[in-house]
Amino acid sequence: MERIVRISNKSGIHVRPAAQIAETSNKFQANVVFIKDGIEVNAKSIMELLTLAAGEGTKITIKAEGADEAKALDALEALVNSKFSED
């Protein structure tokens, strides 16, 4: 399963949002990846998420595979749409 989201907080995915994404992803058994411009990174790794350099307005594909993939996608989509509680 996958979903496309848009990063809407002003600072994009920096350290704090990356930590929130990794923390949320690690709550689920599903393998979760974030994909930007064909680059796929493990969403459970803060360091890998930071390599995306995803600024405001960037479209990200979130892909999850596993028993709780739908719940993982719901949680991550809600997190991104919340602007990581920043703006």
β pairing state of 59-65 and 39-42: unpaired
Write down the catalytic residue from 3, 8, 12, 14: 14
pLDDT at residue 87, rounded to an integer: 72
Instruction: Report the chain's mean pLDDT, rounded to a whole number.
Output: 97
Contact indicator for 84, 18 with CB cutoff of 8 Å = no
pLDDT at residue 16, rounded to an integer: 97
pLDDT band at 60 (very low <50, low <70, confident <90, very high): very high
Tell me what the mean pLDDT of segment 11-16 comes to.
96
Residue 52, both tokens = 């995306």
| Residue bearing tokens 């600024």 | 55
Q: Is 4 a catalytic residue?
A: no
- Can you give the C-alpha Rg of the chain in angstroms? 11
- pTM value is 0.95
